[in-house]
């Protein structure tokens, strides 16, 4: 499972002109589920996201997590995080999990974060979404549950 985590001032996701998820300060999390991922991968991504110390403390040192600052999370499923663009010019998506599995593990990730007391808004699985991201810093972190990077 992969995630792109961005510290944001605000973020929102819109489907068919309607805002379906919106947060203030917190984290924008794009989540890609890979074939072979399990609930352990979902838990890893959720726990790592919640505990990343990427918010400044009173000495301007990145020392606080989204939980510490009372921030929110906007989670959006994004299968393109599993794109393989090493060959040719058109990316391949054969490593992305089948939609049923991907949706289940995406939801498990969200449920796990909610269980840690984080307010989570979300996009709509398998739809065309417009995501507005006001990246703060900018701070962007890449996670891979298989620890490939």
Name the residues annotated as catalytic: 78-80
Fold held by 2-134: 3.50.80
Write down the pLDDT at residue 148.
86
- Average of per-residue pLDDT values in the chain: 97
| Distance, CA of 42 to CA of 77 (rounded, Å) | 12
What are the sequence ranges of the domains in the chain? 2-134
What's the mean pLDDT in 9-28? 98
| pLDDT tens for each residue of 44-98 | 999 999 999 999 999 999 999 999 999 999 999 999 999 999 999 999 999 999 9
Given phi > 0 = left and psi -120 to 50 = alpha, else beta, which region is 85?
alpha
């Amino acid at each position: 499972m992969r995630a792109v985590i961005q510290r944001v001032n605000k973020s929102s996701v819109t489907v068919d002109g309607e805002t379906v998820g919106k947060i203030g300060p917190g984290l924008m999390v794009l989540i890609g589920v890979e074939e072979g991922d399990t609930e352990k991968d979902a838990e890893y991504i959720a726990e790592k996201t919640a505990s990343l110390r990427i918010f400044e403390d009173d000495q301007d040192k990145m020392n606080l997590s989204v939980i510490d600052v009372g921030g929110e999370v906007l989670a959006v499923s994004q299968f393109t995080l599993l794109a393989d663009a090493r060959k040719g010019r058109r990316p391949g998506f054969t490593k992305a999990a089948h939609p049923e599995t991907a949706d289940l593990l995406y939801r498990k990730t969200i449920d796990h974060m909610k269980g840690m007391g984080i307010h989570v808004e979300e996009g709509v699985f398998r739809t065309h979404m417009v995501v507005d991201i006001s990246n703060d810093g900018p701070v962007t972190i890449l996670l891979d549950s298989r620890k490939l990077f």
